[in-house]
Amino acid sequence: MTVAGPRTPKTHAEASRESRDLVSGQVRPRESLIRFAAGPGGQVTPDLAARLPGRGLWVAADRASVDAAARKGLFSRAARAPLKADPGLADQVERLLVRRLLDGLGLARRAGELVFGFEKVVATIAAGRAAWIIEAADGAADGRRKVLAAARRASPQPGVAGLWTGEELSLALGGENVIHTAFLAGRASDRWTLDVQRLSGFRPLVPESWIEAPPSAPGTPDPAQG
């Protein structure tokens, strides 16, 4: 199992819209791009929700593309106006995406789309109802191994994210000691997946220690043993 491999989101109206990546010049689906807009004083501002006024400047959702757009002055060229892009623009996008995903989990909790606790999460995985497994980055290795082993046996296999500590998850989700969480398959998790896919261009979705070295025989790497 690919440790962070999400199931493919369902097609919806937004996913069918396309824009041109100003770095490569390729026309791509907007869910694979980041929209930027000109903010106050001509500052380039990430617009993850694509709602800010003005002309959108679209860049592929990966660190190298955003860095190139900022470094080479491509925002100004595309806008035909002087714009200022912070050298740390890719880091800003990463932080905003991580926050947006955590906020999305809060909305999912209020809508009853999340399942908490080791036993309930494993049961949800076994029933094929989990789109994502969200594991606390600092959770105990033994429990994580068992959850990820269950995910590895599931069909379809859920994606795995280890982006937040247990404290961060607990504060955001209004629980105590939130370590194991399952995001139920459905439209909410499909929307969440689109942002996870964008974030994967800026940082790994799980700590490196969770992923074993690839086996010598052909195959996909499995989750680490902590």
Same domain flag for 64 and 110:
no
Cα dist. 199→2, 144, 155, 222, 224 in Å?
16, 22, 24, 21, 21
- The rounded distance, in Å, linking the Cα atoms of 114 and 186 is 11
- Does 40 lie in the same domain as 23? yes
The DSSP output letter for 173 is H
Question: Residue 171 sits in which domain range?
Answer: 94-210
41 and 63 belong to one structural domain: yes
Same domain assignment for residues 101 and 185: yes
| CATH at 62 | 3.30.1230.10
Q: Is there a contact between 115 and 147 (Cβ–Cβ < 8 Å)?
A: no
Domain membership of residue 48 (yes or no) is yes
* 59-78 pLDDT tens trace: 999 999 999 999 999 999 99
Q: Is the distance from CB of 76 to CB of 121 less than 8 angstroms?
A: no
User: pLDDT, tens digit, for every residue of 189-222?
Assistant: 999 999 999 999 999 999 988 875 333 333 333 4
**What angle, rounded to 10 degrees, do the helices at 89-110 and 187-199 form?**
160
The verdict on residue 224 lying in a domain is no
Indicate the helix (H) or strand (E) that contains 33: strand 33-38
pLDDT at 209: 86
CATH of the domain at 203: 3.30.1330.30
Answer yes or no: do 29 and 121 share one domain.
no
Is there a domain that residue 1 lies in?
no
Same domain, 124 and 197: yes
Q: Which pLDDT score is estimated for 224?
A: 38
- In this prediction the pTM is 0.85
In a domain, 215, yes or no: no
Gyration radius of the chain's alpha carbons: 19
pLDDT tens track for 132-169: 999 999 999 999 999 999 999 999 999 999 999 999 99
* Residue 70, in any domain of the structure: yes
Considering the domain architecture, whether residues 137 and 192 belong to the same structural domain is answered as: yes
In a domain, 132, yes or no: yes
45: left (phi over 0), alpha (psi -120 to 50) or beta: beta
Residue at 80 is within a domain:
yes
Same domain for 59 and 163, yes or no, is no
User: Any idea what DSSP says for residue 9?
Assistant: P
Please report whether residue 102 resides in a domain: yes
Choosing from 56, 87, 118, the residue where a domain stops is 87
The total number of structural domains that make up the chain: 2
Reported for 163-167, long-range contacts at CB under 8 A and 24+ positions apart, including other chains, are 163/98, 163/101, 163/102, 163/134, 163/137, 163/199, 163/205, 163/206, 164/98, 164/102, 164/134, 164/136, 164/137, 165/136, 165/137, 165/138, 166/136, 166/137, 166/138, 166/139
